[in-house]
Amino acid sequence: MTGALAPTKPLTVADRCDRCGAQAYVRAVLVGGGDLLFCAHHGRKYAEALRSNGADIQDETDRLTETPAAAPDEER
């Protein structure tokens, strides 16, 4: 990030890709202040062009490979 923009909130399941509607894992914060949301596929496709135009990229695609924490056993 450039430091000029406020940190962005983590993406949630409700955030959808602006290109295809899949769950968003990438946020591009544009120089003008708006943002675009992308799935992992479209995030990879557009990230370089967005960066070259000054956008800051928030990439949370590492969440796709996380292993969920084991739930504690329920008492019986």
The answer to whether 47 touches 31, Cβ cutoff 8 Å, is: no
> Is residue 2 scored above 50 in pLDDT?
no
The answer to whether 40 touches 63, Cβ cutoff 8 Å, is: no
Token pair for 14: 């409700």
**Selected residue with higher pLDDT from 74 and 32:** 32
> Is residue 8 scored above 90 in pLDDT?
no
pLDDT band at residue 74, thresholds of 50, 70 and 90? low
33-70 pLDDT, tens per residue?
Answer: 999 999 999 999 999 999 999 999 999 999 999 887 77
